[in-house]
Amino acid sequence: MVVTGTDTGVGKTIVTAAIAAALGRGVAVVKPAQTGDDSDVDTVTHLAAPAFAKTLASFPDPLAPLAAARVADLEPLDLYAVTDAIKEISAEHELTLVEGAGGLLVPMGLRPGGAAWTIADLAVALGAPAVVVVRAGLGTLNHTALTLEALERRGVPAHVVIGAWPASPELVHFTNLDDLPGSLHGLLPDAAGSLAPGVFRRSAPGWFTPELHGTCDNLRDLTDAFTD
């Protein structure tokens, strides 16, 4: 399962950790490319303690992975090498979560012919569904619709998750909840990543529908629980 988003900073890493915690067993987490100083795999490991977690390549500058490789004069990620590595890992685990970088169509690396590839291309190559992490606030309807349209054109099934529901929601958040494109399968409270790991792991199943290994049948009920 590929975890992508409508943009950078929408909560992909915390959602990845929460899905891993919701299943709670036999989960592998793979980050094809980490850019900048932070380690998303370390964050997921701290919060969810998956059975396996690995970053395939790291680049020092906080840029899109292909640009970060170029600026650092490092070898860019090869699509087929990444695909093969993930398939090898997934063969040994019940669920493998692949966290992207930025949004769906951010250039990740190069194909052997020299063309750039994206997380959308990786999902197609793996035959994997996508989790699309979206914002709750203004602008999310357009960004979500564009991302879902790009996935639909490629034949990739998508599950929408709101990455952070605010503790003090405004009218726009509730209207977006009603009008959000796609099928909503998860909703996380704002600052979920700051929870103690034990609390995070116990809480995570309640943030998702059963399609994402959760226990929640009505995500709208969560908006009241998350509100101050």
Just list the catalytic residues. 31
Distance CA(122)–CA(65), nearest Å, equals 14
Q: In 10 A of CB 199, how many CB atoms? A: 11
Whole-angstrom CA distances from 152 to 27, 120, 155, 166 are 26, 10, 5, 29
Are 1 and 121 in contact by the 8 Å Cβ rule? The answer is no
Distance CA(127)–CA(36), nearest Å, equals 29
Are 219 and 184 in contact by the 8 Å Cβ rule? The answer is yes
